[in-house]
Amino acid sequence: MMPYNREQQGWLRQSLPCWSSTTIRTFGPRSGVCCDRSASMFSYLRLFPTSSNPIRPMVPPACLDLQRELARAKKELPIIFITGHGDIPMSVQAMKGGAIEFLTKPFRDQDLLDAIQVGLSRHRAWRENEEYLAGLRERFASLSPREREIVIQVSRGRLSKQIAHDIGIAEATVKVHRSRAMQKMKAHSLPELGRMADKLKIVPEEPQRS
């Protein structure tokens, strides 16, 4: 994990003197680093785009504030806390907030590398899911109003004849709209179409009967 320039490299090594050059280089220049001992980390965070630099080793306690700000902004960002003065309440708060790891100096290089690997894997899965959802939303937006209505009805388990009766059109017309919607959504089966609708959260919940 090597920062982008020499100034940042020196800053990282001063913040984390237990890191060897080999350890820092392990994940390459695009892994991303954001460390500081004060609230100035908010300005450092802007240097590293979330999409290409997911890992943020951090030094408490100011990072707890940043962690809360990220949560409020709904920013999915794996965080590793690093401190020489941490305590149990602080570590509990950080982990409850979604931190990957809370490391107390001195720690083994391997502990940090393992935490980084977990963070990278978790962030990669999140990005893949976000990209998949973005594709789904784009495809759903391409449907006509009638096709969207039928997709929602199908996802609720309604049969073609029931949908036809509910919205006042022929059953054959429902099947035509359903077929076009499946093609646009790239769904190969009705169950797959239903799973897509669940992902998009477009099916309103049924009111609970008393």
Q: What is the pLDDT of residues 1-34, one digit of tens each?
A: 333 344 444 444 444 444 433 344 444 444 444 4
Containing structural domain, residue 150:
142-200
Which residues are CB-neighbours of 9 under 8 A, at least 6 positions away? 2, 3, 24
Which among 140, 135, 209, 148 is positioned nearest to 178, based on CA atoms? 148
User: Are 109 and 177 in the same domain?
Assistant: no
3-class secondary structure per residue, 22-71: HHHHCCCCCCCCCCCCCCCHHHHHCCCCCCCCCCEEECCCHHHHHHHHHH
User: Are 163 and 105 in the same domain?
Assistant: no
Domain CATH for 174 = 1.10.10.10
Identify whether 95 is part of a domain: yes
> For residues 128 and 40, is the Cβ–Cβ distance under 8 A?
no
User: Are 126 and 169 in the same domain?
Assistant: no
Identify whether 137 is part of a domain: no
User: Are 80 and 162 in the same domain?
Assistant: no
User: Per residue in 111-126, pLDDT tens?
Assistant: 988 998 998 898 899 8
User: Per residue in 182-206, pLDDT tens?
Assistant: 999 999 999 999 999 999 999 877 6
- Rounded to whole angstroms, how far apart are CA atoms 117 and 120? 5
> For residues 79 and 59, is the Cβ–Cβ distance under 8 A?
no
